[in-house]
Structure 1
Amino acid sequence: MPKLFASIVLYKHQYQGVKPTMDALLGCSSLHGLVLVDNGGCEWAGQLALPKVHYIRSDRNGGYGHGHNQAIRAFAGQADYFLVCNPDIQFHSADLDRYLTGLSGHTAGLFMPRIVYPDGTQQELCKLLPTPANLFARRFLPPLAEKLDQRYMLRHADFDKAFFAPSLSGCFMLFRATALLELNGFDDHFFMYMEDVDLSRRCAVRFGNLYLPAMTVTHHFAKASYTDRKLLKAHIRSAVQYFNKWGWLFDQTRCQLNQACLAQLPRR
């Protein structure tokens, strides 16, 4: 069975809120280590006397990607697969074991299963790489965003079938460990938001990404930046960083990856 390590980044989380995700991971036969990275306010995680659980007190609250990077650099070298996981995820442990076993026939570097809301509705977490219009219209021009989202959010895709997508959500990113190490994990310059788009993009170019709906995961998705002004500012700041890095209007790689996705997209 493949050897799996997983990491969860914590910040002022309560144990009872994270326990369902931890239980699901610790119930996996393939799991060799679960790394809890404490970005602040979660000293309880260092007091857990649980087999396979490792605790890292972050050197600073450098954000989501910086937290996961500490776990990646410490443990990914011991793994076949490394899972970057949110603390609000639930699934059946045996499903992840079967999912990992089924990956042997695929060559991608990053995989994401079907992800749903608690009511079973599919979450729109497989996307094209965004243009500035995609991101800023979704915040400030909802009528325009609704039109752009038909393409950007791949709403015509058949999500019962596997396909390549250049942007996969950071809530459940399952990497081949060798690919993740070669990519050097997340870009630490992103404090919060867009770090998953950046890493997905880099993986898509070098190793390929695959949405593979052979497993279903429940994600208690809050969309906090839509209601919290501080988080909204953080999201805008990260979007600016992203486009400064890769290009605002002229981004040839974005065009190539998006076209490759649309050309092979299974449609309903």
Structure 2
Amino acid sequence: MANEETHRGTVNQTLSYIERHLTHMLRPDDLAREGRFSKRHFDRLFLAAIGRTAANYVRDRRLARAAAELAHTRKGILDIALEYHFQSQEAFTRAFKKAHGLTPGQYRAYAHSLVTKGTMGMNRNEVPHGWTVTGNRVDEYEVALDKREAHLGSASARIQSVKRGAEGFATLMQMFGADRYAGKRVRLTAFVKAEGIQGWAGLWMRVDRKNGDLLQFDNMQDRPIQGTLDWNQYAVVLDVSEASHAIAFGALLRGEGRLWVDNFRIDEVDERTPTTGQSAEEGVPAEPVNLDFEG
């Protein structure tokens, strides 16, 4: 368990380092040293946690940032290419077209045409396909696609309060059948960026029986996302018993602030990865406690 937590901390530290240095030279050896592991061991850890090599992750983050600059600034394409350490405009164009299906020039023209028509950027209440918005005071929040801010690719989902002093919560969620993961341990990960969160935010996942009874749950309330934080990866790990029927997951924001989420993943993991949540049975003490209020 200690090793898993250490490894997760190392990867998160490296992700923060990458975010701060996207416009700097980033060599694989530098990232391994930042994580205080050998390059070979670090490469394995990063690939297992993120699903891609560190070099590919850096490239994809740079391409995502470049896409935002093409859409929302007047910087020259060559200037953007060099800023993000592509060797030439041609190399940048090849990589960008592979990632986005358009050349940088085509992408900029397309983005500007959408801006002119008012459809590029933060599209209010455009709930992403396949997702549902729930909460106790949904009218206090806005949930939408955000094409100005993306972790990888060209869009993320954004949850933000629209009422001063918001005290409710809103969540972007979806649910699917548990059959594939029955009897296994599952890890939910996603990249999250936070701005001015005065309450708290987190990823969440729950596992239910067929009748709707709760089996497992974690919403990161014991390790909340608060304040202003750049993109980083967070995780929730739960056991899915044979009695499980459905798995629900998502991201939530309680109180004031703004939250972006991107690149959700659900992976099967082994017992070396500790769970983060609590079962319904664990939530009930075996005996009554502190009956005289002196404890």
Structure ranking higher in helix proportion: 1
TM interval, short-chain normalised: under 0.3
**TM score, norm. by length of structure 1:** 0.27
Q: Give the structure, 1 or 2, with the largest relative contact order (CA under 8 Å, sep 6 or more).
A: 1
Structure ranking higher in strand proportion: 2
